[in-house]
Amino acid sequence: MATLGLERELAVYLAHVTVERGLSANTVSAYHRDLSRYCAFLESRGIESLASTPALVVAEFAEAISAGTDSGAPLAPASAARTVVSVRGWHRFAVAEGWVGDDAAVDVKPRATPARLPKALTTDEVAALLDVAAVGDGPAALRDRALLEVLYGSGARISEATGLDVDDIDLGEGRESVLLRGKGRKERIVPLGGYAREALDAYLVRARPTLAMNGNGTPALFLNSRGGRLSRQSGWTILKAAAERAGIGDVSPHTLRHSFATHLLRGGADIRVVQELLGHASVTTTQIYTYVTRDALREVYQTSHPRALDKPMPRPE
């Protein structure tokens, strides 16, 4: 088996993920950063190639990056898990190339990262946010209100909302809906409620024609001040400004999407229906919202049920 040395082995692997696997520059940069730290760890133990790397040392590295006992600062669980995945990929490549006989990293698993439950606003917070979505009654104000009503009313991603064309919405009586194009350009039709319909109708009649006068006839639904398609970044800015006026704090477009799903489930919607509305390929992705609603139910239970108290209820005399 050939021994190239760690530096050369790393260079060959990075070339492989860049050229043959076609990974992005940012991903390759992350691989380089993670594996350079791994190389420094191996070299500190006198190891000069993957062929001479025992499984125990790989496991020690996985522990060291979490504790910060190697040459770097301790990594957060998600970053540590990503680094271990990078190391495992490099070792698998070494086996495939014939540099080593056995995969020293095969039994080293990334630590499970704690699930990040999505933040959801309360219905009162959503109402407050939408009430202050527009400042004044000019074209931009009507657009901002319509945009935020669509985001919350349909659970759309910000890219889906700003990617809408006028022909993608139907405001006909009993047909109120929006055609969203999600990941992989997968299309789904989502119903719109009365608030979103009214906000869109006001925007289309009283605001969009004015904004469109400054542009070149784009079919985009939401327009900027120059008559072009509103950008994702501008959508973020609009939401952030509204959240500050409402005194809510840090809110992202995904917060409205999370709130849309959470409020539907709390209202009794079937999880499969919510999956379709969100455009999730798998119901497993949607199931994280059930944990959010479970937490809310648990809180109500603990504050309302007499047998949920920390101390037992006094018995009647």
Which residue of the set 88, 145, 229, 257 is catalytic? Answer: 257
Which residue of the set 32, 82, 119, 280 is catalytic? Answer: 280
- Per the DSSP assignment, residues forming a β-bridge with 165 are 220
Which residue of the set 8, 111, 183, 206 is catalytic? Answer: 183
Reply yes or no on whether 183 is catalytic: yes
Which residue of the set 157, 229, 258, 263 is catalytic? Answer: 157
131: amino acid identity, one letter: D
Reply yes or no on whether 13 is catalytic: no
DSSP 106: T
Reply yes or no on whether 289 is catalytic: yes
Q: Tell me which residue of 154, 93, 112 sits closest to 278, measured CA to CA.
A: 154
Chain mean position to CA 275: 16
238: amino acid identity, one letter: I
Residue 191 φ/ψ, nearest 5 degrees: -65, 155
Contacts (Cβ under 8 Å, ≥6 apart) of 137: none
Reply yes or no on whether 157 is catalytic: yes
Reply yes or no on whether 280 is catalytic: yes
Which residue of the set 8, 33, 111, 254 is catalytic? Answer: 254
3-state secondary structure of 188: strand
Q: Tell me which residue of 183, 163, 132 sits closest to 230, measured CA to CA.
A: 163
Which residue of the set 31, 38, 203, 289 is catalytic? Answer: 289
Cα gap 158→65, rounded to integer Å: 35
| Catalytic sites, residue numbers | 157, 183, 254, 257, 280, 289
